[in-house]
């Protein structure tokens, strides 16, 4: 068993050896620092001073906080990150909500335009139906007018034929010859009217001659009666009622 004196001596020897090692280490570090650039050497010295300051500062008893003071709650970096994330989310949500509102407005405008287009299409279809009805009525009216003109032409032809026959019979009764120049054409109304005019003139001439003959006969038979009689009156005077 070793004595306490020997233990103290051993500790002293170990302390001397540790001091020599420290001096040697510092000497080597000093030589190494001399080889470093000036800026890097200053940076290393500053780091050594800071580490020495932290090691020399004795951990004193912490002063208890006063009851009247309120300690600040330390805020860590993750809380800031969370707040930023929430703010970004709120901004993105607000932007999306605005875009959603704008999209709804666009959809409503598009729907209104579609309804307006459907209304215009329905109006156009109704207008087309009305135009078709008007066109159908117009075609029917034109057909009716064409039929009416055809019937009027047929009636005129019928009247012309009757007039032509009447004139022919009148000229035959008056014993007026009908030459080729006065012969009626079946397709000419003007020729019929011209021939009717000529026949009227000839008939009037015959009637004048007949009136003169009847006047002389009337004066011979009825000398005391007023002689200023018309052809009809003289014919009535000669008329004998068979009853």
* Assigned token pair, 125: 């279809």
**pLDDT the model gives residue 137:** 93
What whole-number percentage of the chain has pLDDT above 90?
A: 22
HSE-CB of 236 using CA atoms within 13 angstroms: 5
Q: What span, in angstroms and rounded, lies between the C-alpha atoms of 160 and 190?
A: 10
**pLDDT the model gives residue 58:** 47
Mean pLDDT, rounded, of the chain: 68
CA–CA distance from 63 to each of 45, 69, 74 (Å)?
32, 13, 18
**pLDDT the model gives residue 232:** 67
**pLDDT the model gives residue 115:** 92
**Please, what is the angle between helix 231-238 and helix 189-221, to 10°?**
60
pLDDT for 23 beyond 90: no
Q: What span, in angstroms and rounded, lies between the C-alpha atoms of 5 and 12?
A: 11
**pLDDT the model gives residue 145:** 93
pLDDT for 147 beyond 90: yes
Distance of CA 182 to the CA centre of its chain: 73
DSSP per-residue string spanning 103-117:
HHHHHHHHHHHHHHH
| pLDDT, tens digit (0-9, with 9 covering 90-100), for 192-222 | 566 667 666 766 677 677 777 767 776 776 6
pLDDT band at 3 (very low <50, low <70, confident <90, very high): very low
Element (DSSP H or E) covering residue 197: helix 189-221
Q: What span, in angstroms and rounded, lies between the C-alpha atoms of 66 and 60?
A: 17
pLDDT band at 117 (very low <50, low <70, confident <90, very high): very high
């Amino acid at each position: 068993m070793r004595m306490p004196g020997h233990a103290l001596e051993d500790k002293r020897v170990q302390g001397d050896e540790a001091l020599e090692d420290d001096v040697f280490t510092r000497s080597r570090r000093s030589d190494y620092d001399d080889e470093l650039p000036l800026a890097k050497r200053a940076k290393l010295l500053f780091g050594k001073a800071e580490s020495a300051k932290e090691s020399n500062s004795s951990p004193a008893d912490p002063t208890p906080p006063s009851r009247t003071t309120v300690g600040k709650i330390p805020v860590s970096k993750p809380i800031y990150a969370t707040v930023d994330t929430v703010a970004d989310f709120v901004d993105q949500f607000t932007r999306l909500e605005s875009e959603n509102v704008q999209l709804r407005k666009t959809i409503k405008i598009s729907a209104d335009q579609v309804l307006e287009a459907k209304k215009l299409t329905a109006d156009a279809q109704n207008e087309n139906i009305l135009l078709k009805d008007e066109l159908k009525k117009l075609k029917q009216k034109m057909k009716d007018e064409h039929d009416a003109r055809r019937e009027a032409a047929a009636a005129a032809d019928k009247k012309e034929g009757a007039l032509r026959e009447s004139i022919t019979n009148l000229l035959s009764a008056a014993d007026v010859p009908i030459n080729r120049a006065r012969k009626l054409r079946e397709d000419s109304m003007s020729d019929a009217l011209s021939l009717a005019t000529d026949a009227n003139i000839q008939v009037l001439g015959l009637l004048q001659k007949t009136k003169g003959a009847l006047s002389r006969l009337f004066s011979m038979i009825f000398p005391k009666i007023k002689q200023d009689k018309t052809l009809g009156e003289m014919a009535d005077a000669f008329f004998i009622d068979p009853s």
